[in-house]
Amino acid sequence: MTDAIRDEAAGSQMPTYYKRDFWQTENLKYVKVHYRMAKMARVVRGLVDGQACDLLDVGCGPGTLARLLPPSVRYHGIDIAIQEPAPNLIEMDILQSPVSFRGMTFDIIAAQGLFEYCGDYQSQKFAEIRSLLKPGGRFVLTYMNFSHHKKVVYGPYSNVRHPAEFRRDLERHFVIERTFPGAYNWNQTQPNRPFMKAAQKNLTLDIPGLNTTLGVDRFYICSARSADT
């Protein structure tokens, strides 16, 4: 716990990692499509450009993202609490087991709102995800901006890091090809007014001076860094 922001949130206590009984209820919040999920789907659709591919959704919750993707995307998901079992979904605690899906590798791996809960496992999970990418594959993830001028730290978060610290760790395992705020907002909440959603749904642009202070969270589009770089 070297980062000042993380120390401020967590104090001297060790991270608390929530188990299936918590997530079985928490995941119900994500049955309906929300702003960040819709933006993730647009990013993925742009990357696959209509081509057939295999996608792994890490921390998939109810698997709602699958409904937003074209039929050419073969969707697979893993989560600590699967609400409705299905052949393309696996229930596992990724903090206790390596990230994997029946020995498969993937063209796209997505993780939205996951790493805020990974505590000291963050770097290990990056390494495991990197090993699951096919050559030329992409890792698309989001992470909260804990430098927002009205920073909000949700109680169950176990991994509250300054954006620069998070990026440094990510870059140990991946090449960041693009990064941009998921949304700008005066409060650190996802847009909920229709005109705000419409104005930002396709925005993938950094706005100098506003990224750190008003960016709610960030999207990262990454490729695997080779072991010898």
* pTM as predicted: 0.91
Residue 209 resides in a domain: yes
Q: What is the number of domains present in the chain? A: 1
What is the domain extent for residue 115? 4-224
Buried b (16+ CB within 10 A) or exposed e, 86-101: eeebbeeebbeeebbb
Q: In degrees, to the nearest 5, what angle opens at C-alpha 39 toward C-alphas 98 and 47?
A: 70
pLDDT confidence of 1, banded at 50, 70, 90? Answer: very low
13-45 confidence digits (pLDDT tens): 688 999 999 999 999 999 999 999 999 999 999
What residues pair up with 221 in beta bridges, in sequence order? 140, 178
Give yes or no for residue 93 having a pLDDT over 60.
yes
Tell me what pLDDT residue 191 has.
87
Residue 154 resides in a domain: yes
Residue 82 resides in a domain: yes
98-117 confidence digits (pLDDT tens): 999 999 999 999 999 999 99
Give yes or no for residue 2 having a pLDDT over 70.
no
CATH number of the domain within which 158 lies: 3.40.50.150
Residue 229 resides in a domain: no
Residue 219 resides in a domain: yes
Handedness of CA 30, 31, 34, 36 (dihedral sign): positive
For residues 169 and 127, what is the distance between their CA atoms, to the nearest angstrom?
Answer: 10
